[in-house]
Structure 1
Amino acid sequence: MAEIRVLLTDDHAVVRRGLRVFLETHDDITVVGEAGDGAEGVAQALATQPDVILLDLKMPGVDGVEAIKRLRDAGSAAKVLVVTSFTDAPSVLPAIRAGAAGCVAKDVDPAALANAIRTVHAGHVVLPPAIAAALSTGVSGDRLDQLTAREREVLQQLALGRSNREIARELHLAEKTVKTHVSAILMKLEVDDRTQAALYAVRHGLA
């Protein structure tokens, strides 16, 4: 099983300690660092190159949203999973729009947290139903108009977190054909990976 390198960013030391103790019970997850605020989190991310960053939103100084923006500006490829006590749409949506791959509440079941880490690491999106619903109220962007009907179907499947093999089975296509469609979707939407494509679909009401 591939190792998932995780960075913990939260201004409460007791939260970081609890997360570390729990995550280190999983053979496929390794905690590579901790940070107490957004600025330190960005610095640690660039130094340790984690696969996934668990990030609190409300922190002194540089908050979670600003940290996400700085990570993207710095070219970090890490997937950001927001772990927060504030799961209402006004609090979470700015983080998702800034580039976070998902969000879970701080009182999430521990096993569900581990699965969320694996999910965003695999390139999928993790969103509470209320947040997904709030995102889906948007109107379709101009780039969606460039997609063929089949590409829109594939994009909808991407937004559901399905792999190429699962999409092929669902749409009765060859897996190689799905891969071709995914490449075309990324190019037309001007995004870098499946996660960004899925988020684009959710934000613009396609999912």
Structure 2
Amino acid sequence: MTDGSPTRILLVDDHDLFREGLRELLSIEDDLDVFAGANNGAAAVTLASAQRPDMVILDVNIPGDNAATTVRHILEVSPDTRVVILSLFDDPAVVRELLAAGAHAYLLKSVTREDLVSTLRSVAGDSGRMMLSISRRSFEQISRSNLRVLSDREVEIVALVAKALSNSQIARRLTITEGTVKRHLRNIFAKLGAVSRIDAVNKAIAANELSSRSD
């Protein structure tokens, strides 16, 4: 997404009219290309596997698996894809679940066109940046809540980083690709605000992520 070519976007929403409207809205931006659409989670995963989009814009309420599961499956088949949630739901628990699954941004459908485009460009340009456009009430509840920041898989990876394992060693231990390990580490850094592997481990311990959920 840094070679000057447009960001290739897969749009996932079960409302055909909304998909077409958003595709038309984004079509005037030279650096954003909505090249395909899907109306359910399974179709989204299949397209992501075949086309490896730069970005997926995903609605929460789609047929099939819940959105968090769909996000995880998309990132399993296309680790470098960046997922942006565009939803009607202003629910802090839903926001945290989607971010923990690996989403890079969570926006409400009430967002302005300018803010949407700005967010898409920010996420496309920086894989470690997490973008939120939710109500102040939801943000405050997320900030105060005891909901876990890291997914179980991310906790596994931080625990192995703490043992000084390299990315390739972690990949072999967990039977996943090295690219998937790198994608998880980018998400971990973003969620914890970490700047290095050691910093991520220290912040995970400080947040009680490792001590309560790893051996």
**Normalised TM-score (structure 2):** 0.65
**Which secondary structure state, in structure 2, belongs to the residue aligned with residue 83 of structure 1?**
strand
- Cα-to-partner distance string for 1:14-40 (whole Å, 9 max, x where unaligned): 110011001110000011210001111
Cross-structure match for 1:125 = 130
Contact residue 8 and residue 32 of structure 2 kept, 8 A: yes
Contact residue 46 and residue 76 of structure 1 kept, 8 A: no
**Which secondary structure state, in structure 2, belongs to the residue aligned with residue 21 of structure 1?**
helix
Deviation at residue 201 of structure 1 after TM alignment: 3.2
Deviation at residue 105 of structure 1 after TM alignment: 0.7
Whether 1:199 and 2:191 are equivalent positions in the alignment is yes
Tell which deviates more after alignment, 106-115 or 20-29. Answer: 106-115
Contact residue 83 and residue 105 of structure 1 kept, 8 A: yes
Partners of 2:68 and 2:149 in 1: how far apart?
Answer: 24
What is the identity, as a one-letter code, of the residue corresponding to 2:192? Answer: Y
Whether 1:20 and 2:5 are equivalent positions in the alignment is no
What is the identity, as a one-letter code, of the residue corresponding to 1:197? Answer: F
Partners of 2:63 and 2:107 in 1: how far apart?
Answer: 20
User: What count of residue pairs does the alignment treat as equivalent?
Assistant: 163
Deviation at residue 191 of structure 1 after TM alignment: 4.4
Partners of 2:139 and 2:193 in 1: how far apart?
Answer: 11
Partners of 1:119 and 1:131 in 2: how far apart?
Answer: 22
Partners of 2:137 and 2:79 in 1: how far apart?
Answer: 28
Q: 1:83 aligns with which of 74, 79, 86?
A: 86
**Which secondary structure state, in structure 1, belongs to the residue aligned with residue 60 of structure 2?**
coil
Give the unaligned 5+ runs of structure 2.
163-181, 195-202, 208-215
Deviation at residue 62 of structure 1 after TM alignment: 2.0
Partners of 1:72 and 1:29 in 2: how far apart?
Answer: 20
**Which secondary structure state, in structure 1, belongs to the residue aligned with residue 131 of structure 2?**
coil
What is the identity, as a one-letter code, of the residue corresponding to 1:200? Answer: L
**Which secondary structure state, in structure 2, belongs to the residue aligned with residue 59 of structure 1?**
coil
Cross-structure match for 1:56 = 59
- Cα-to-partner distance string for 1:60-116 (whole Å, 9 max, x where unaligned): 222311101212333432110000000211222111111101100112101111111
Partners of 1:107 and 1:23 in 2: how far apart?
Answer: 16
Q: 1:8 aligns with which of 8, 11, 20?
A: 11
